[in-house]
Amino acid sequence: MIEKNYRRWLESENTDATLKKELEGMNEIQKNDAFYTNIEFGTAGMRGILGAGTNRINIHTIRKANEGFAQYIESNGADAVKRGVAIGYDNRHMSSEFAMESAKVLASHGIRSYVFESLRPTPELSFAVRYLNCFGGIMITASHNPREYNGYKLYDETGCQLIPSLAKQVIDRVNAIEDELSINPILNEDQQKLITMIGKEVDEAYYEKVLSIQLNPDVNKESIHLVFTPEHGTANIPVKTVWTRAGYHFTAVEEQCTPDPDFSMTKSPNPEEPAAYELALKLAKEKDADIILVCDPDADRMGVGVKYQEEYVVLSGNQSGSVLIEYICSQLVAHHKMPKNPVMFNTVVTSDLGEKVAAKYGVETEKTLTGFKFIGEKVAKYEKNHEKNYVFGYEESYGSLISPFVRDKDAPQACLMLAEAACFYKAQGKTLVDVLNDLYEELGFYKESQTSLTLKGQEGAEQIKAILSNLRQNKPTEFAGTSVVAWEDYNEAQMFKNGEVSDLVGFTKSDVLKFYLEDGSWIAIRPSGTEPKCKFYYCIKGTSSLDAEKKTVAYQKAVQDKIA
C-alpha cells in the first residue's frame, strides 16, 4: 500500500510540482513515513510535518480536509452556506497559500469565505467567526510546534473549535474521500466573488473588546516596564496595540518581531520551553524590566517571567493561571462585580492550586478534558441556560481566556491582564512571585511539572499505545512508596475509589489515565493530540516547596521505571 500510494502521487499529473520533486528524492525510510497512513484528521483538526505524502501537511491534504468541511457545511443547509467561514493563518511556511486554497475549495461549493489579508492570531479568528456571524472558521497554524510543522483547525459558529460530536461529522466525510489529488478547484467569476478579504474593521472590533477586560484601567502604569516577544508570530501587532492604547511601557525583542516562518532568531517558539525566553531574558536584564511576556506563534499561549530578588523567574502555566485567578477574583469582589453562580474552567491535568484559589472566592471549578474546545463548549452551554456565569478558563499549557467574547485561548487578553496585575501588586510592594508564594503559604505547597516521551513515526505511535495499554492492564498501586488511593480512566469512563468503580460522567472518552496518591498528589498520563509524544503530568503536594520538589523527582523516576 505504501508503494502504491507513493507511485500514485509520483505519477499523477495533478500532483503539485514542488511536491513531485520532493517525492523523486525520497529514500525508502522517507517513503514509509510519508505514506504509511493518512495524516490524522482528529478532533483538533490536523497538525503535521510539511511535505509530500498522505501523512504530511500539503496542498492536497489541505484540499481534502476542506472538501470534507465543505460537505459538512452543505449538510447544514442553505443558511450555513450563505453565512460562510472566516479564515485566518499564522506566519508558517505555506500558511497563506493554505488559507487561500481553503477559500477556493469552499467557493467551489458555493460557500462564502472571509479571509484575513495577512497573518492574525488564533483568538482573533475565533472572534471574527462571531463578529461576522459565520457558520464556522478555519485557522491555518501549527501553534507552538517547530518550524517544519503546519496545521488546520476548524471552528463552529460560536468561535469554538469543533467538539468531538461535530468533528466526527467532518472526519467521516474527509475519510470517505479516496483521491485527494483529484481536488483542484478552478473557480468561475461568480465563485471568485464569494471570497472576501478582511482586516482593519475586525482588528479594531477585537482590540476594543480586549481593552474592555481591564479591571483597574487607572492603575499606575509608570511603575512597570515590560519586555515582550511574539516569537516571530502573530502576537506582534495585537499585543503592542492594546498595550500602547492602555498606556503601558514596554520594549519588544525586535529580532523576533518579524513574521519569519523559519523562526531564525529563536531556538524554540514554545513558551513551555526555556529556550523561548533567551533573547527576552537578555533584553529584560538590559532594560531592568519587571515582566517578560512571551507569546507562541499563533498567539493563543502566553508565558511569563518575573523579576524577583534580582533574578528572573519563569512561571509555569499553572502558576501564572493561579496568579491570574487570584487577581481577577479579588478585584471582582473588591469592585462588587462578582457575578452570581460564578464558575471557572480548567482541565483534568491542571494543578489543584487554581481550584483552591477560586474556591476561596466562592467560584466553582468545572474540569474538562485537555483541549480548549471543551471549555468553549461549557461557555456556550451556560450562555444559553444562564445557570452559571463565566469568570475564567485556563489550561496548564500556558493558555487562558479572560473574557469569552473569544472561545479559544487568547494571549493578547492574558498579556493585558498580567500587565495590569503586575502594576497593581507593585503598588503594594509585591511581585507576581510574591503573590504566588502567598498562595502557597495560604493554600498548600504544590509543584507542577510535565515530562514527555517523543516517539516518532509508525513505530513510535504503536509504542505510545502500548504504554497506555500496559498501564491499564497493570494499574500501579503505588509510586515511590506512596499508595494510589484512586484512579480515573477517561477511555473507559471509569473512576476507582474506596474499592468501588463508578462512571465518569460528562467527559468524552479519551486516552487519559490519572492516579491520585495518598499524600494529595496526582499523576496523569496521555498521548499528545498534536505531537508524537506521550505526556506525563505531575501535581505534587508537599509540606513545603522543598518537600514538593523532592517528591517530584521521586515520582518522575517511579513513572519512568514503570514504563521502561
Give me the active site residues, please: 143
Integer Cα distance of 441 and 421 in angstroms:
20
Measured CA to CA, the distance from residue 64 to residue 53 in angstroms comes to: 13
Tell me how far CA of residue 359 lies from CA of 324, 328, 441, 495, in angstroms. Answer: 14, 13, 16, 24
Half-sphere exposure of residue 207: CA atoms within 13 angstroms, side-chain side: 18
**Residue 221: strand, helix, or coil:** helix
Helix or strand holding residue 508 (H, E): none
User: Of 295, 300, 204, which Cα lies nearest the Cα of 245?
Assistant: 204
Question: For residue 404, what are the contacts with CB-CB under 8 A and spacing of at least 6?
Answer: 376, 379, 383, 390, 393
Which of 372, 357, 367 minimizes the C-alpha distance to 327?
Answer: 357
What's the rounded Cα separation, in Å, for the pair 170 and 531?
21
- Classify burial at 159, counting beta carbons within 10 Å of its beta carbon; exposed 0-12, middle 13-18, buried 19 or more: buried
- Alpha-carbon distance of 479 to 117, in angstroms, equals 53
Give the cell for residue 225: 516596564
Residues 412, 165: Cα–Cα separation, whole Å: 30
Nearest-angstrom CA–CA distance, 404 and 379 = 7
* Burial classification of residue 82, based on how many CB atoms lie within 10 Å of its CB (0-12 exposed, 13-18 middle, 19 or more buried): exposed
Residues 468 and 489: beta-carbon distance below 8 Å = no
Residue corresponding to grid cell 485567578:
325
User: Using an 8 Å Cβ cutoff, are 139 and 89 in contact?
Assistant: yes
Residue 264 and residue 274 in contact, taking contact as beta carbons nearer than 8 Å: no
Strands 400-401 and 445-454: unpaired
Q: Give CA–CA dist 16/6, Å, rounded.
A: 14
Q: What DSSP element (H or E) covers 139?
A: strand 136-140
Q: How far apart are CA 470 and CA 190, in angstroms?
A: 57
Strand duo 342-347 + 389-394: pairing: parallel
Q: Closest Cα partner for 71 from 109, 115, 22?
A: 109
CA 219, CA 265: separation in Å to the nearest integer?
34
Q: Where do we find the cell 525586535?
A: 254
Judging by DSSP bridges, how do beta strands 195-198 and 225-229 pair with one another?
unpaired
Q: Are 374 and 384 in contact (CB under 8 A)?
A: no
